[in-house]
Amino acid sequence: EPEVTQTPSHQVTQMGQEVILRCVPISNHLYFYWYRQILGQKVEFLVSFYNNEISEKSEIFDDQFSVERPDGSNFTLKIRSTKLEDSAMYFCASSLGGGNTGELFFGEGSRLTVL
């Protein structure tokens, strides 16, 4: 069964360092998302991406964050100059037709720990 894969599963970084989280969405999906979940808290929307551009982003997704689809398969989230409060589980998701036509398929997440 096709699945969304994320790497790394866990990354530890020093405050101020740059981090790139990688995702391989399901191959025929057109919509891509990043969400994050701080330990024990709700799942928060960061950004959605369609047709090679950001279609929606939240207040959390400030200039510190960027997304890219560098080739036909990868979808990356870059966090510049990480802060302690960026420590969270980051989930990538993809969907065929966007949330209004069906489900989102989530990866297992990348746990980011900022020291």
Which residues in this chain contact other proteins in the complex, by CB under 8 A?
Answer: 4, 33, 35, 41-45, 48, 56, 58, 91, 93, 99-100, 102-109
Report the DSSP pairing between strands 31-37 and 88-95: antiparallel
Q: How is residue 23 written in tokens?
A: 């995702």
Q: Which is nearer to other proteins, 19 or 61 (CB)?
A: 61
Q: Which is nearer to other proteins, 50 or 69 (CB)?
A: 50
User: Shortest Cβ distance from residue 81 to other proteins (Å)?
Assistant: 26
CA distances from 59 to 4, 51, 85 (A): 25, 22, 15
User: Shortest Cβ distance from residue 103 to other proteins (Å)?
Assistant: 4
CB-CB contact of 51 with 71 (8 Å): no
